Amino acid sequence: MLTFTIRRLLLSIPTLLFISLSIFMLLQLAPGDPMAQVPLTVPPEVKEKMREALGLGQPPLIQYWKWMVQFFWIEPQVLIDHWFGTSFSEGAQRVISWQTRSPVMDIVVQRIPQTLWVVGLSYVVGILIALPIGIYSAYKQYSVFDQSGTFITMIGFSIPPFFTGPLLIVIFSVQLGWFPSIYDTTHVVTDWASFKVQFMQMIMPVMVLALQTTAQISRYMRSSMLDNLSQDYVRTARAKGLRESVVVLVHVLRNSMIPVITVIALGIPSIFGGAIITENVFKVNGIGQLLITALFANDIPMVMTLTFIFAILIVLFNLIADVLYGVLDPRIRYD
Amino acid sequence: MTLKSLLMGAVATTALAPAAFAERGADGQVNIIYWQAPSSMNPLLSGGTKEVEASSMVIEPLIRFDETGAIVPWLVTDIPSVDNGGISEDLTQITWPLKEGILWSDGPPFTSADVKFTYDYCTHPEGGCAQITKFEGIESIETPDDQTVVINFANPTPYPFAAFGGAESPVLQKAQFEACIGPAAPTCTEENFNPIGTGAFVVDDFRPNDVITLSANPNYRDPAKPAFATINFKGGGDAVGAARTVLETGEFDYAWNLQVAPDVLAGMEAAGNGELMTSFGPSVERIMLNNTNPDPALGPDERAVIRPHPFLQDPGVYNAMSLAIDRVLLAEIGYGAGGQVTCNWVPAPAAYNSDTFTCDTQDIAAANAMLDEAGIVDTNGDGIREKDGVEMSILFQTSTNSIRQDYQALIKDWWSQIGIESELRNIDASVFFGGDAGSPDTFQRFYADVEMYTNTFSGTDPQAYLANMLCDKAPSPATQWQGENISRFCMEEYDALWNTLAQTSDLDERARIGRELNDMAVSNGAMIPLTHRGDISARSNALAGVRMNSWDSELWNIADWSRAE
């Protein structure tokens, strides 16, 4: 297992390098101009000067090389400096966003907390709701519960958050006035009162996102349970006189969780990717909103860095899912 | 005696009591939402409207423009003029007397050295300053003493108020930005996010593209202002959401730039939490008419370069096209209260708004008659007129935007009723306005017959804007497709009259020439003006003191904002 993991880790290095080059070249090919949002009252020659000041005039390969050096060599130094108070990175040019003219990683670090809070929590909530629904739906297949569960998950799959989000806002913020429609990213939780405020402002975005997660995971759980319920070992367990709760929740559930856990692990990178639409609807301003505004502003260093971080996470969690699969299922051995 | 003075003292205290209400910071927090979030607080580097507006709470120019477009002395004692000797007789020098006793928010006094430094900062060739045109024509800036700034122009400059006038040209603190000049400018993150200013507020926390927290400037020149102690300046989301937070949920006090369908806004306003405010600057949505031939069959050095257009320069054609448009309907469905019919390229300031044309009634029959009279008729019976054998089918392009696509669809229909066929095309705004010399889809390249967009000018003087129609400003391969004369309009008389304007200092005469230039461009087929676009913002009923302004930042008088009773 260890050699497998090491081999996979080494293999991921060329994969990631190739991904970074592809992202960079795709962004180069994409039309658009970082100065497009500057008003027309600013004349073109001034815009040209502004582009030069951002380093846009250089050939693409040099820009790519500079980004590589900044991302893989200078940014880790900045992190070490931050942790240990050293000064390796002093005076070095970091990855600079074209919109804000500030280091990209600083903004990413600033945005991570709200994304993890909202999107991460919605993932946890979604899983906690989905698992019991999936288990019970499978156990009572074609019952009223199963049918209505199927109906609700279909709704969760098919109704996009740009509809559910504003709908919740109109009901709970405008009509009832229960929850704020705008997420305050500067809010700090210090006591119960401020925790209540945080809870109130998180509830709507978390629920919108959790609906999606629930829909997905509960379907996986249901089908995985159904596969196992008809197996011989279940009949054996029942024949031994085990109680029904033990049969379902110990024997069947443990075996059914194996594929579901890999699906859950594979979904974790998307937490860090944020939720572009939901974040925009509730003004959570996390990573998803950062990515979409960077795309609109043609802020290539920002888009490049964010998408590459996502790529690393996806490669990493794919590996984790594979390893977990082996750990959970002793029949699977990679060596 | 002692008792008497005590009583006197008590009486005096009660007399002072009402003044205590107008105390700095007495009104707590004001919540402002800008759905396009600012990404920097240094408007000299970014140039975007959102950054200009946000920074105007902190850093200030020497003069501001009020809601009528009139100049207001801000950091100076009075407005220089030829009469008061502030502007030299030959119009090459202006002397600014700075107000005494103004302090930067971190303590030191505001001096002429800061003003001169801002000029040096912005005009540095490697700094990438977005507002460099504000300093165009300046030869040098002298600082005879701490309270006097003398600006010398290379040529007579009849309108010398562009430099340090309005929110786009604020003064930076020399001590803070000294190390950030030239190539270092974009790397000064800390300075660009937290500029030290003379304005009513100080940045406490700047989160790019998210939220800005500000608090009252302890050194602000008026000890009773600002009334608010803190500002929560939220960004992000969309215009509808922003409007909702002010008009429906009441979470925010002020929402900026509400480009939302008029009926949706009206529905929200009916909730009664706040009101919409509109004001009009010089923004005009217009259709530019290509005066060159955009035929794809032409080579790269000729397409959209050689004159004339096969049919668009015929007065019968563009007048008929204009007459076929129902501008009242367009303004109503597109912008509601934020749109007015205009026949002019320069509809504001009022002195520059020409009254030569009327265009608020659509007349398809008259437009058809006009084309018939010009001898442009449909000879082959396909429903499309021909001029000299060329079918009048045009390519009509604009940027991707739901209102513009509505405009396109309606106009296409009206033009089809007068025998002009149009093919519609929309291009993503970042490409269309991107100015990439290699892209065939930019508005400068104009590989189409007509195109629609909005343009405007900053400040209250249109001289530079009127220069957009000079012959030599036409984009072409020789200029890497850069240039402001998008329609490639060219008229000797226009160029000559513009040169007269550049040498005239009398304001009434300038306005007269300005109106004449506007008429010349419009009546000779440079463009078809459609809608005079205003700015729409929303204010909650709990906020007082807002004076909506299109000539400067909307937040220009934030020091005067307060909680309504």
The pLDDT assigned to B18 comes to 42
Chain B residue with Cα closest to A53: B128
- Tell me the two tokens of residue B180: 């950030």
pLDDT digits (tens, 9 = 90+) for A84-109: 887 777 777 788 888 888 888 889 98
Is residue B558 a contact partner of residue B201, using CB atoms and an 8 Å limit?
A: yes
Question: Mean of the pLDDT values across residues B41-61?
Answer: 90
pLDDT digits (tens, 9 = 90+) for A18-49: 999 999 988 888 777 777 777 777 777 778 77
The pLDDT assigned to A212 comes to 86
The pLDDT assigned to B1 comes to 43
pLDDT digits (tens, 9 = 90+) for B203-237: 999 998 889 999 999 999 999 889 999 999 998 88
The pLDDT assigned to B458 comes to 81
Percent of chain B scoring above 70 in pLDDT: 96
Chain B residue with Cα closest to A172: B249
Q: Are B40 and A103 an interchain contact pair (Cβ–Cβ within 8 Å)?
A: no
The pLDDT assigned to A80 comes to 86
The pLDDT assigned to B227 comes to 93
Q: Which residues contact B379 (CB under 8 A, 6 or more apart)?
A: B386
Tally A–B CB contacts below 8 A.
186
Q: Which residues contact A155 (CB under 8 A, 6 or more apart)?
A: A211, A215
pLDDT digits (tens, 9 = 90+) for B96-155: 999 999 999 999 999 999 999 999 999 988 888 888 888 988 999 999 999 999 999 998
CA-closest candidate to residue B443, choices B452, B432, B453: B432
Q: Which of residues 411-470 of B touch A (CB under 8 A)?
A: 428-436, 439, 441, 444, 453, 455-458
The pLDDT assigned to B16 comes to 44
Give me chain A's average pLDDT, please: 86
pLDDT digits (tens, 9 = 90+) for B515-533: 999 999 999 999 999 999 9
| A46 and B CB contact within 8 Å | yes
Give the one of A93, A173, A298 whose C-beta lies nearest to B430's C-beta. Answer: A298
**Could you tell me the pTM of the whole model?**
0.83
Angle between helices A104-115 and A287-296 (to 10 degrees): 140
Residue B20 has pLDDT above 50, yes or no: no
- Counted residue by residue, chain A has a size of 335
Residue B459 has pLDDT above 90, yes or no: no
Question: Mean of the pLDDT values across residues B9-38?
Answer: 70
| B541 and A CB contact within 8 Å | no
The pLDDT assigned to A174 comes to 87
| B338 and A CB contact within 8 Å | no
CB atoms within 10 A of CB A285: 30
Element at B278 (helix H, strand E): strand B274-289
The pLDDT assigned to A189 comes to 86
**Residue reference for tokens 């390969």:** A61
Chain A residues with CB-CB distance to B428 below 8 A: 31-32
Query: How many angstroms separate the Cα of A56 from the Cα of each of A292, B128, B538?
Result: 21, 12, 38
CA distance B298 to chain A (A): 24
Q: Is pLDDT larger for residue B17 or for residue A256?
A: A256
The pLDDT assigned to B4 comes to 56
Q: Which of residues 146-165 of B touch A (CB under 8 A)?
A: none
CA distance B508 to chain A (A): 25
CA distance B228 to chain A (A): 19
Residue A266 has pLDDT above 60, yes or no: yes
Chain A residues with CB-CB distance to B165 below 8 A: none
Chain B residue with Cα closest to A295: B430
Find which of A101, A188, A278, A291 to mutate to test the B interface (most B CBs within 10 Å of its CB). A101
Chain A residues with CB-CB distance to B208 below 8 A: 97, 99-100, 102, 107
Does the predicted interface ipTM exceed a cut of 0.90?
Answer: no
pLDDT digits (tens, 9 = 90+) for B54-107: 999 999 999 999 888 889 999 999 999 888 889 998 889 999 999 999 999 999
Chain B residues with CB-CB distance to A109 below 8 A: none
Q: Which of residues 284-313 of A touch B (CB under 8 A)?
A: 285, 289-290, 293, 296-298
Rounded-to-integer distance, Cα B76 and Cα A244, Å = 86
Q: Are B48 and A102 an interchain contact pair (Cβ–Cβ within 8 Å)?
A: no
Give the one of A38, A46, A52 whose C-beta lies nearest to B132's C-beta. Answer: A46
Is residue B388 a contact partner of residue B340, using CB atoms and an 8 Å limit?
A: no
| A33 and B CB contact within 8 Å | yes
Nearest-5° Cα angle at A202, A198 to A207 = 155
Chain A residues with CB-CB distance to B130 below 8 A: 38, 42, 46, 50
> Phi and psi at residue B472, in whole multiples of 5°?
-80, 5
pLDDT digits (tens, 9 = 90+) for B333-383: 888 888 999 999 999 888 899 999 999 899 999 999 999 998 888 888 888
| B235 and A CB contact within 8 Å | yes
Question: Mean of the pLDDT values across residues B309-322?
Answer: 92
CA-closest candidate to residue B355, choices B512, B525, B528: B512
Find which of A89, A182, A298 to mutate to test the B interface (most B CBs within 10 Å of its CB). A182
| B476 and A CB contact within 8 Å | no
Residue B437 has pLDDT above 80, yes or no: no
CA dihedral sign, ordered B436, B438, B439, B442: positive
Q: Are A103 and B189 an interchain contact pair (Cβ–Cβ within 8 Å)?
A: yes
